Each structure stands twice: as C-alpha cells, then as structure tokens.
Structure 1
C-alpha cells in the first residue's frame, strides 16, 4: 500500500517568526529601551507561545522530532515566562525572589545547549539562532545571579540579535520557497 506524499506546508517559518519577533520585543525591554508592557506579554502568550506550540504540533505531523521538541518547548517557555510575570500581579502566586530566575534560565540554557548540538547537522542560520540563544540564557542567568543590570542590558542586545537571526531564518525559508531559488542564503551544509 502506498501513501500520498506529504503536501503540507513547512511550519518552521511560523515558529521561527513567533520566537524571533517575541524575543526581539522582550529584549528591547531588557536592553533598557522601554518598559515591560502589555504588548510584550500579549506577544508572549499568542505569537511566542501559542503559535510555536501549534508549529510544534505541525512539525510532529511531518515527522520532525527536532522541530516538534524545539517549537513546542519554546512556545511553552513563553507561556511560562508570561505566567511568572502576571500570576503574582493577579495575587495567585508569590513573586519570584530577587535572583530567583537563575534556575529557570540555567535549565533553559542547558536544554538549548543540547538542542544546539542537534543543529550542527543543519544550516548555518539555525546554528546561529540556537547558539545565540545559549549565550542569551547564560547572560540572563549570570545577570540575575549577580543582580547586575549592565549584564541584563548586554543580554538584551544579544537577545535582539538572537531574535533577528530567527526572523531572518524564517523569512529566508519563505522567500526561497516562493521564488523557487535562494533569495536569502541559509548557509546550507555541503553534501558529504
């Protein structure tokens, strides 16, 4: 019995844009350019959160374990981060103590470091996204552990780079598919 070929679209650009745009917006705040506001929180819930979870489910349908784990996990990261910020304001949770986010950032950094190892067989754009995200989590953890606002601002600028790199990877995939040729290079690995 033969099965029809998979004719579904590539969901990765949606997830990368959800991650990238939300990461840029939050890190504009981390860099000290403006306050944490409802726009960032809404992006964290809907585009960074739900869109990535949906993308992870679509990657599962395509049989892509890496995409499933990455997009679903980072979507749930955004939903968790927003919950950590708003639950105390709603009076349903105790606020995280000063320096209390260190474990959160370390765990996500460790997860991301292992996922980065998985990108070593992928294109350069994907490696840049995950590599810069490892650095971002490290800076956030160190900045929080030391209570150092300058490290937090540096993390913000590095996070803007990380988010922009994800946006580039997403839009390159979209434009390359639409035009049927390389419009924006992803740094594909040469065949062995």
Structure 2
C-alpha cells in the first residue's frame, strides 16, 4: 500500500497576524486613542484566540512543540481576557461583576510573565524578529502586573500600552515575512538568524 504524505502549511503567518490585529486594537484602548473594551472583545476572541488556536493545532500536526505551545498559550490568554472583560461589563450578571477581584487577574499576568520569559529563551532558536516580539510581550506583562497590583500604575500602564503596540507592529512584519518569503521562495523580508545558544 502506497503511503501518502500530507503537507501542512506553516501556520506562523496566520498566528502572528492574529496576534498583530488583537494587540493593535487593544493597544489603541490602552493608549487612550479609543475608549472602553466592548469592541476589542470580538477581535480578542476571533483573532487573538481562535486564529492563534488554529495556528497552534497546525503546529502540533507539524511536530512543532514551540510553535504549538506559543500560539496555544496565547490563544487561551485571549479567551481568558475576553471572558474577564465580559464579567467586568456585567454581561454574565451584576453579582459576578461585583464579586470580581482584579488582583486575581494580576496573578494570571504573573503566570503569563513566567510563561513568556521561558518562551523568550526558546524564541532565540527561531529568529531575531520573534525574539523581539517575545521581549515586548515580557514587557507587556511586567506593565500589566505593575498596573494591576497598583505598584506603579501610571508607569505600568504606559509600559503595557507601548509594548503592546510594538508587539503588533513586529507581528505584522513577522507575518508578512512568513507569507512573502515562502511565496516568492527567497528572502524578501529578513527576520534575522537565530542566536547561537
């Protein structure tokens, strides 16, 4: 019986595009360009969560543990954030909104900071552009922890806002590079060689 080889496209471009869109929209709110989070939620669910979850599933099929863990981990982050916003807005009931303790969200941010730090080390074996994205994700979570725990709220909020915008811009570049370099069969947009570690 003849074996059939199933080829799966690299999902990096889609995963990074999802990250780019959600962080662009979310950073607009943090920077004060837009207000509230009601219309951030759809982009968080569909681009931040579902697009990255789909990329994670495809990376699992490609036996890419790093990509599957990165995209999957952040997909579930955006699912969690979306549900948090829905609770805070009272969509799931006033009683639930009144019982919300923002410091619990702060502990989730600490957990994601730990996750992002060791994923940053892993990203060094992929490319310099991906490593930069992870460094700004680390800074984003540091900012979120500082502001959520009211340690240095103004500085933390600003750090989170500008880091999130830079994550978006770098992710757009990374997504474009993944698509165009593959499509043209040559390096149109360099992403930087992995670090020698």
TM-score strictly above 0.5: yes
What residue is the counterpart of 2:180 in the other structure? 175
Q: CA RMSD in A?
A: 2.2
Aligned residues: 192
**1:97 Cα deviation after fit:** 3.0
Cα distance in 2 for residues equivalent to 1:171 and 1:122: 16
Taking a change above 3 Å as real, the CA distance of residues 191 and 129 of structure 1, as seen in their structure-2 partners, is: closer
SS of the residue corresponding to residue 101 of structure 1 reads helix
Cα distance in 1 for residues equivalent to 2:173 and 2:68: 20
**1:17 Cα deviation after fit:** 0.8
Runs of 4+ deviating beyond 2 Å: 1-7, 36-39, 92-101, 189-192
Taking a change above 3 Å as real, the CA distance of residues 62 and 97 of structure 1, as seen in their structure-2 partners, is: same
Report if the CA contact (8 A) 1:31-1:155 is conserved.
no
Unaligned runs of 5+ in 1: none
What residue is the counterpart of 1:93 in the other structure? 96
* Residue 149 (structure 1) aligned with residue 154 (structure 2): yes
Unaligned runs of 5+ in 2: none
**Aligned counterparts, 1:117-156, within 5 A:** 117-146=121-150, 148-156=153-161
Taking a change above 3 Å as real, the CA distance of residues 190 and 98 of structure 1, as seen in their structure-2 partners, is: closer
Report if the CA contact (8 A) 2:124-2:194 is conserved.
no
**TM-score, normalised to structure 1's length?**
0.90
Cα distance in 1 for residues equivalent to 2:155 and 2:70: 29
Report if the CA contact (8 A) 1:32-1:153 is conserved.
no
